[in-house]
Protein backbone atom coordinates (compact mmCIF):
# COMPACT_ATOMS: atom_id res chain seq x y z
CA UNK A 1 0.00 0.00 0.00
CA UNK A 2 1.30 3.44 -0.96
CA UNK A 3 0.22 6.87 0.26
CA UNK A 4 0.10 9.86 -2.12
CA UNK A 5 -0.59 13.58 -1.83
CA UNK A 6 -2.80 14.74 -4.70
CA UNK A 7 -4.48 17.90 -5.86
CA UNK A 8 -7.74 17.84 -7.80
CA UNK A 9 -9.76 20.55 -9.46
CA UNK A 10 -13.53 20.21 -9.54
CA UNK A 11 -15.63 22.10 -12.08
CA UNK A 12 -18.52 23.50 -10.07
CA UNK A 13 -20.63 24.12 -13.17
CA UNK A 14 -20.67 20.39 -13.96
CA UNK A 15 -20.42 18.87 -10.48
CA UNK A 16 -22.11 20.07 -7.29
CA UNK A 17 -19.70 20.46 -4.39
CA UNK A 18 -20.93 17.71 -2.07
CA UNK A 19 -18.98 15.26 0.08
CA UNK A 20 -20.03 12.37 -2.20
CA UNK A 21 -18.88 14.18 -5.34
CA UNK A 22 -15.51 15.18 -3.84
CA UNK A 23 -14.84 11.63 -2.64
CA UNK A 24 -15.92 10.17 -6.00
CA UNK A 25 -13.46 12.47 -7.77
CA UNK A 26 -10.65 11.53 -5.37
CA UNK A 27 -11.34 7.78 -5.65
CA UNK A 28 -10.23 7.97 -9.28
CA UNK A 29 -6.71 8.36 -7.81
CA UNK A 30 -7.01 6.00 -4.83
CA UNK A 31 -8.80 5.56 -1.51
CA UNK A 32 -9.05 9.00 0.19
CA UNK A 33 -7.83 9.07 3.79
CA UNK A 34 -8.50 12.76 4.28
CA UNK A 35 -9.06 15.79 2.11
CA UNK A 36 -9.71 19.53 2.25
CA UNK A 37 -11.13 22.15 -0.07
CA UNK A 38 -8.31 24.68 -0.24
CA UNK A 39 -9.64 27.18 -2.78
CA UNK A 40 -12.85 28.15 -4.55
CA UNK A 41 -12.55 30.39 -7.60
CA UNK A 42 -15.83 32.18 -8.24
CA UNK A 43 -14.73 33.49 -11.64
CA UNK A 44 -13.81 30.12 -13.13
CA UNK A 45 -16.35 28.20 -11.01
CA UNK A 46 -13.76 25.66 -9.81
CA UNK A 47 -12.77 24.24 -6.43
CA UNK A 48 -9.25 23.07 -5.56
CA UNK A 49 -9.06 19.98 -3.33
CA UNK A 50 -5.93 18.60 -1.66
CA UNK A 51 -5.99 15.02 -0.42
CA UNK A 52 -4.05 12.08 0.94
CA UNK A 53 -4.99 8.84 -0.83
CA UNK A 54 -3.74 5.27 -0.63
CA UNK A 55 -3.27 2.87 -3.50
CA UNK A 56 -2.56 -0.86 -3.51
CA UNK A 57 0.78 -1.84 -5.02
CA UNK A 58 0.40 -4.12 -8.03
CA UNK A 59 3.59 -6.11 -7.28
Instruction: Give me the DSSP letters along the chain.
Output: -EEEEEEEEEETTTS---HHHHHHHHTTTSEEEEEEEEEEETTTTEEEEEEEEEE----
Q: Is the pTM of this model over 0.85?
A: no
Identify which has the larger pLDDT, 16 or 54: 54
| Counted domains in the chain | 1
Domain of residue 47 covers 2-55
59 has a pLDDT exceeding 70: no
Amino acid sequence: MTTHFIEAEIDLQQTPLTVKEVEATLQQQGEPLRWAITKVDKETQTAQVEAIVTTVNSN
